[in-house]
Amino acid sequence: MLRGVGSAADVRDSVRRWGLDGVVLMGFTDAALAGLDLPPTPAAVLVDAAGGSVDGAGAPTHARVGSDDRAGGRLAGAHLTGLGHRRLLLCGPVDAAGRVVAERLAGFREAAADAGLPADAVRVAHARTTYDEGVALGARLAADVRAGAVTAVFATADVLAAGVVRGLTDAGLQVPDDVSVLGYDDAELARQVTPRLSTVAQDTAGKGRLAAELLLGLMTGEDAAPRSATVPVALAARESTGPAPVGRAGG
């Protein structure tokens, strides 16, 4: 297991220096993985990786594990539109070209379309996945919330959602009476903040177990070819989401 490894060069050098038999890599695109120029010996499992290269027979070139992020986005959108929200905002690292956030956004937009909303009903705001970024974004959104331009926010991580709640409440708004906020992950933080966060729960421990199982299968030869596994997600509805404010739900 590699811990605290940052750049692609660090990953490559660590694998070569330590003579690893197997490695789990998180968040790598296919292009970034190719750029590692890893030796053929270590088995590799990609977690939350962008892309999905296949060989000439259409089989995956690497073992992969990830959550069903598009389904997670759809769950988020269906939950909020089911509460009557018609002016939605998704926030997260949308400019980072990562598969995970792109899939969540795609699913969110699909759910909005299924609810009959026009494409411009979903606004997008770039924000890094930190609490402080959420606080700053919440403060900036306060005017839009008061004007009825946004009635619900979907943050692509709980820590970001918690910051958004803080920024909104610091600006004098009430969650969920004035605006609903929905997170993603179902981290412990989601149950510690006030109000407790509604969120899309993903099984991070399950992803870890699957990654280990796939890696061991490749290392022992039990799996002759790389396999892919997708972990399901579920909605955990709590106190941070509620019906759209009366008079501000329309599209």
Q: What tens digit of pLDDT does each residue of 106-118 get?
A: 999 999 999 999 9
What DSSP element (H or E) covers 88? strand 88-92
Residue 237 lies in a domain: no
197 and 96 within one domain? yes
Cβ neighbours for 18, distance < 8 A, ≥ 6 positions apart: none
Residue 248: predicted pLDDT: 56
Residue 52: predicted pLDDT: 53
Residue 55: predicted pLDDT: 46
Q: Per-residue pLDDT for 247 more than 90?
A: no
140 and 92 within one domain? yes
Three-state secondary-structure class, residue 200: strand
104-to-17, 74, 92, 108 alpha-carbon distances in Å: 37, 8, 10, 6
Q: What share of the chain has pLDDT > 70, as a percent? A: 81
Residue 20: predicted pLDDT: 72
Closest CA to 80 of 187, 190, 200, 180: 180
Domain extent, residue 33, equals 8-66+203-231
Residue 24: predicted pLDDT: 81
Q: Per-residue pLDDT for 47 more than 50?
A: yes
Q: 43 vs 72, which has greater pLDDT?
A: 72
pLDDT range class, residue 75, cuts 50, 70, 90: very high
Q: 195 vs 95, which has greater pLDDT?
A: 195
159 and 116 within one domain? yes
What DSSP element (H or E) covers 207? helix 204-220
Domain count, the chain: 2
56 and 78 within one domain? no
φ, ψ for residue 205, nearest 5 deg: -65, -40
For residues 98-103, average pLDDT: 87
At 140-193, the pLDDT tens digits run: 999 999 999 999 999 999 999 999 999 999 999 999 999 999 999 999 999 999
Residue 175 lies in a domain: yes
Three-state secondary-structure class, residue 131: helix
Residue 125: predicted pLDDT: 97
37 and 91 within one domain? no
For residues 126-140, average pLDDT: 97
Q: Per-residue pLDDT for 67 more than 60?
A: yes
215 and 92 within one domain? no
Per the prediction, the chain carries an average pLDDT of 86
At 18-41, the pLDDT tens digits run: 767 787 877 776 666 666 666 555
Q: Per-residue pLDDT for 50 more than 50?
A: yes
Residue 226: predicted pLDDT: 66
